[in-house]
Structure 1
Amino acid sequence: MTKSVHPGEVLLGAQAGAVTLPVCDHYSGVEARMKKSLALQAEMAEEFGACVFDVTLDCEDGAPVGGEAEHAALVTELALAARPGMRVGVRVHPVDHPAFAGDVITIAGRAGHRLSHLMVPKVESVADVVQAVAALEAADADALPLHVLIESPLAVHNAFEIAAHPRVQSLSFGLMDFVSAHAGAIPADGMGAAGQFTHPLVVRAKLAIASAAHAYGKVPSHCVVTEFNDTGAMRMAARKAATEFGYTRMWSIHPNQIRPILEAFAPDEAQIQIATKIITNAALADWAPTQIDGTLHDRASYRHFWQVLTRAHATGRALPPEAKAWFALAAS
């Protein structure tokens, strides 16, 4: 490290202390799978030297009808028992579901201090966010970040207003419900790994959500790929989400999908080396414009390459010593 001023402080300003979320958000709702997901999270944290994916325990799809309260209690116990330092979230029921209030009281009320986030599905407008925030405050969990799931044409229309709410940390796209909300106007292949990147209405929704998230400094999280045994399809979808659609995070619904997501969203070795060189030279130049390998760089490009290194760190990639030093300083 060549200067005492941290790159994030110089280049990101007020956003220097913003939370950087893992690029993969892994969902499970059945007891045995939730336990396996938490065990895998701990194992991979040892392998990578960092918690490289979130585990979101699912009440909406995981709880049996009539057993919502029991499932909420189970999820709470699993979250409280998770290994320290791991990121564990919970997806509760929608705000208009009869189980929503009980979910929040049980889960956020008892384990809010342990959770990384609370995911609220089927958010249609900022009024739903306000209702969720009020429920968290009533449960004394007013510091718990909210993630929201955008799943309908109306929600896409309201995405910018939703993203602007200060308690919202991330916006996810709910592909399956979005397609089914169109009364058959979008064919079934619009839910597939390939079709979701070609149908105009789905593409428009994805871009709107990513744009809304970036407009307010929030994290856009890409939707599921249901063909979980097709590794090639998973890699293709994750790569498109990361490089063409502006997403910095993606859902996993099967353990087979976690590593392909990490690989797709992580910078490769060449990008890491270039970013390290540019940021090192920028620090030496006291962040003034400088020429590197025949190309002029200034704070706009420095910001981009610092974010490349931040993503590399978040995905557990090996960093050159000088880049490691910056992250060691940030953690101290």
Structure 2
Amino acid sequence: MKHPREVLLGAQAATVFLPVCDHYSGVEARMRKSLQLQAEMMQEFGACVFDVTLDCEDGAPVGGEAEHAAMVVALAALASEKARVAVRVHAVDHPAFESDMAVIAGKLARHLSHIMVPKVESVDDVIRAEQALLAASAGNLPLHVLIESPLAVRNAFEIAAHPRVQSLSFGLMDFVSAHGGAIPADGMSSQGQFTHPLVLRAKLEIASACHAHGKVPSHCVVTEFNDAAAMTGAARRAARELGYTRMWSIHPNQIRPILEAFAPSEAEIEDATKIIAAAARSDWAPISFDGKLHDRASYRYFWQVLERAHQTGRQLPAEAQMYFQAALQ
């Protein structure tokens, strides 16, 4: 029996599956806690349900970039093989970028899941980052990029098309600041970021660019990290309304609300399992389910529901779980 990934996924679907949460920390003590929390939740869920991104851009003190990079290298090297650890380096035009890439990518190529590059304005910045990877003998590492300006939004489709790019993230705070006061401060809030037209347009452009090229759109931060309702509401809107399949966390309290918001419901998992099982029994020919016609287009959707359930650590029925124990995992 063919695996659903062989049959269903193609040009109309994402070509990579990432954890739905990307957790950032830039201070050594918080980095250590983040890595420990990741290990604990891997035990709890049986899968790595969030990435840990160690931050050099905002985490490194001015003048202490080299020391901070060395500390990041030492911490990341301690992570287990099953952990997913990334590093955000400085922007390509920052004096520390080249040394960041040489030290971090050069020493951690086998340990990192990806490198995050901030303030990418055009595909030329991606090419420069790729060249730095190759110079560091880290040609296997994917790049994630931050879209943080009106120009970057304008170039999002071209950036997403680059084969080295795996995911685009929206940098809300810098995007608002890049407008020189034309967007009010409320545009950075948990509510305003979903209502201001320019911010909302940028989010939609980034999501669309990613889906056009089979990449992963990653939603921006919610700064009100002690407001559980605001966090949950923003995550749900990002997942259900704007087409995002991943979101940033900047505090441990935000990780579980993101997992919950991006996870399918039990009813969705049950329906998806039944439809995929029936489709497999019919060799992926069209079927009728609850009075509705289903074919490979809808099978693809329901398979992606199961993929998302697995990514968020949800319990899967045996008929679905077997696909994630197969060699194609």
Report TM bin, short chain.
Answer: over 0.9
Matched, 1:327 2:319: no
> What's the counterpart of residue 244 of structure 2?
247
Task: Tell me: CA distance 1:252–1:274, structure 2 relative to 1, closer, same or farther (3 Å).
Answer: same
SS in 2 for 1:250: strand
- Counterpart contact for 1:8–1:16, Cα < 8 Å: no
The whole-number CA distance in structure 1 between the counterparts of 2:291 and 2:16 is 34
Q: Which amino acid aligns with 1:253?
A: I
Q: Normalized against structure 2, the TM-score is what? A: 0.98
**Residues in 2 aligned to 1:107 and 1:256: alpha-carbon distance in whole angstroms:** 28
**Cα distance in 2 between the residues matched to 1:28 and 1:327:** 30
> Are residues 17 and 172 of structure 1, via their aligned partners in 2, closer, same or farther at CA, if it must alter by over 3 Å?
closer
Match of 2:186 in 1: 189
CA distance in 2, matches of 1:132, 1:100: 9
Identity of aligned pairs, percent? 75
Greater alpha carbon shift after TM alignment, 242-251 vs 281-290: 281-290
1:38 lines up with 2:35 in the alignment: yes
Instruction: Find the aligned partners of 1:285 and 1:83 in 2 and give their Cα distance.
Output: 41
- The match for 1:203 is 200
Distance 2:11 2:195 in 1: 37
What is the CA distance between 1:14 and its match in structure 2?
6.9
**Cross-structure match for 2:296:** 299
Residue 179 (1) aligns with residue 155 (2): no
Q: How does 1:87-166 map to 2 (within 5 A)?
A: 87-166=84-163
Structure 1, residues 49-103: CA drift from partner, whole Å, max 9, x if none? 0000000000000000000000000001111011221000000000000000010
Match of 2:263 among 253, 266, 269: 266
Structure-2 residue corresponding to 1:71: 68
Q: TM-score normalised to the size of structure 1?
A: 0.97
Amino acid at match of 2:64: G
Shift of 1:17: 9.9
CA contact (8 A) 2:16 2:214 kept: no
> Compared with structure 1, are the counterparts of its residues 47 and 94 closer, same or farther at alpha carbon in structure 2 (3 Å cutoff)?
same
Which SS does the other structure have where 2:59 is aligned? coil
Does structure 1 residue 289 correspond to structure 2 residue 286?
Answer: yes
SS at match of 1:224: coil
Task: Tell me, yes or no, if the aligned pair for 1:29 and 1:57 is still in contact at 8 Å.
Answer: yes
Query: RMSD in angstroms over aligned alpha carbons?
Result: 1.2
Which of 276, 280, 293 is the aligned partner of 2:277?
A: 280
Segments of 4+ moved more than 2 angstroms: 13-19
The equivalent of 1:12 in structure 2 is: 9
Q: Give the length in aligned residue pairs.
A: 329
Query: Corresponding residue for 1:227?
Result: 224
Residues 267 and 5 (structure 1), Cα distance of their counterparts in 2 relative to 1, 3 Å cut: same
Query: Do the aligned residues in 2 keep the contact of 1:220 with 1:247 (CA within 8 Å)?
Result: yes
**Structure 1 position 113, deviation (Å):** 1.1
Deviation (angstroms), 1:308: 0.1
Tell me the equivalent position of 1:27: 24
Distance 1:14 1:95, change over 3 A: same
8 Å Cα contact 2:13-2:214 kept in structure 1: no
